[in-house]
Amino acid sequence: MPLALLTPQFKWTFYAHAAICFCGVAPLFSPESIVPYLVRGCSEKEQEAVGAVLAVALQLYAALLVVQAKLLRHAAATPADMKYHSALAQAQGAACALSVGVLVQAEGTGHSTPALMPLTLVCTLIAARYGGGVQRMQWALAAAPKDPKEKDIESEFQRGLLTELFMLFPVPWLTRMFQAYAFLAFLVGGTAFCTPDLWVWILSPTKESVAGKCPLEVLRFVVKMYGALSLGQFWLAWKATRFVNLLTRRRITESWAAVFTVSTVVLFMAMRSGAAGWTCSPLMLVFAAFAIMYWATYMEPDVIPGAAATASANGTAAAPEPAAGGATDAAAEKPKNGKTAPKGKAKKDK
């Protein structure tokens, strides 16, 4: 195995992608500055009607986009966690590839702005970079030495297909939250990407703001972009259930807790101001529940429940890990004066 494959494959790609995702701060805090570029092809009356609900959709998308910057930066700063690198590259590559399809379709409708062409090129380059390096990342992951914790967990995973797939055995509560978010992201992202009209109705049930064809197409475009990004999050959440790096799990937890908190606030303020309909209330409650659960798991220690009780019931204790040379700490420890004990005295002590 070439030594180059053992090095991180996407370090600078992660940094560059994080910088691009951080640009989502603009639509998150001032969506009204982005809306005119999206509805430039619509009439003035249609722009005024769709502006409020389109701003809500942009804020939801921007919140998820900004969180990607934190996840990508953590990946670039932790080159040793190749399992996280591989899962994040696959998730971001899939999200960018789906986004390219949405952008190309939006340009074909005739209601998009010329400013979408640079975004299409950026997403295409990122998707190609991730797609071209994923196989090399898999080779590096297979050749890299495994974490001892990961070896122990993988030895426990030798079970039936359904038990292995859904992890039907004692796992940390945070792992269950990752599984729950994977299900939610697949449901929300799949429906938003494949059936954007459903989410157009959820955001604006009266359809007064999307009466014309132009605002409807623009809102569909933003909803499908949100769905593409959510489908990428589904894959990352599904893979995160197998992560053993506690720092990585903690960064993922606080990132998703933040995005659910911001999304809840955005929907609440939109419903309060009348920008979104009452149909957003179930989604807001789901986001609020996930935010509370993620913050709760963030405060709790990430341990396997029942592991200590099992060890004490069996009357066994974990053996101390050997030193790097294979000897125990007592054997590897040298006298402070640098001298070894005489052979005769050592035999007498025995």
Q: Which amino acid is at 290?
A: F
pLDDT for 114: 55
> Lowest-confidence range among 34-38, 132-136, 193-197?
132-136
pLDDT in tens, 110-143: 665 556 888 999 999 999 999 888 777 666 666 6
The larger pLDDT score, comparing residue 340 to residue 314, is at: 340
Check residue 158 and give its pLDDT.
52
What mean pLDDT is predicted for residues 20-26? 94
* CA-to-CA separations, 284 to 57, 59, 72, in angstroms, rounded: 13, 14, 27
**Is the predicted pLDDT of residue 178 greater than 60, yes or no?**
yes
Band of pLDDT at residue 259, cut at 50, 70 and 90 = very high
What is the rounded average pLDDT of the residues 88-114? 85
Count of other CB atoms within 10 angstroms of residue 296: 13
Residue 172's pLDDT band, with cuts at 50, 70 and 90, is confident
Instruction: Extract the tokens encoding 217.
Output: 């197409």
Choice between 280 and 50, residue whose per-residue pLDDT is larger: 280
Q: What is the pLDDT of residues 320-332, one digit of tens each?
A: 444 444 444 444 4
Share of the chain above pLDDT 70, in %: 71
Q: How far apart are CA 264 and CA 19, in angstroms?
A: 25
Give the pLDDT of residue 22: 95
Higher-confidence residue of 17 and 106: namely 17
Q: Give yes or no for a contact between 117 and 106, defined as CB atoms under 8 angstroms apart.
A: no
Q: How far apart are CA 185 and CA 155, in angstroms?
A: 29
Output the furthest CA–CA distance in the chain (Å, rounded).
100
Q: Rounded to the nearest 5°, which phi and psi values hold at 165?
A: -70, -45
Q: Which residue has the higher pLDDT, 54 or 350?
A: 54
Q: What is the number of other CB atoms lying within 10 angstroms of the CB of residue 217?
A: 20
In this predicted structure, the answer to whether residue 12 has a pLDDT above a threshold of 50 is yes
- Render pLDDT for 219-244 as a digit per residue (tens, 0 to 9): 899 999 999 999 999 999 999 988 88
Over 50: is that where the pLDDT of 186 sits? yes
For residue 137, what are the contacts with CB-CB under 8 A and spacing of at least 6? 9, 10, 82, 85, 86, 89
- 300 confidence band (pLDDT: 50, 70, 90): confident
Provide the residue ranges of all domains of the chain, joining segments of one domain with +.
8-144+166-301
- 316 or 64, which is more confident: 64
